[in-house]
Chain A
Amino acid sequence: MRTVNRVASALLGLVALLVGVLVAVEGVLLLARRPSSLMPVERWNDAAAGTTLGDRRVLWASVIVLVVGLVVLAAQLRRTPPTRVAASPDHQPTWSMSRRRVEHRLADSVGGIRGVSHAKAVVRGNEHSWRVRISADAPPGQASAEDVASVAHDELVRLGADDAVPVEVSVRAGR
Chain B
Amino acid sequence: MTTVVRREDVARAAADAAQAVAGVARLSAGSGVEVSTPYAGGKVVGVRLTPTGAEVHVVVNGYDIGQVADDVLTAVSGALTAAGMPAVVDVVVADIESVRERRSD
Contact = CB atoms under 8 A, between A and B. Distances in A.
Range class of the B interface residue count: 20 to 34
Contact of A96 (B32, B92, B95): B92
B103 A151 contact: yes
A53 B93 CA distance: 56
Contacts of A88: 66
B32 A2 contact: yes
Interface in A88-103: 88, 91, 93-98, 100-101
Interface in B55-88: 63, 65-66, 69-70, 72-73, 88
Interface residues of A, number: 26
A138 B18 CA distance: 42
A109 interface: yes
Nearest to B105: A114
Contacts of B29: 2
Given A2-B34, A112-B102, A98 B92 contact: yes
B44 to A, nearest CB: 17
B3 interface: no
A14 B105 CA distance: 57
B91 interface: yes
Interface in A56-109: 83-84, 87-88, 91, 93-98, 100-101, 105, 108-109
9 contacts: A2-B34, A93-B88, A96-B93, A97-B93, A98-B95, A112-B101, A112-B102, A159-B96, A160-B93
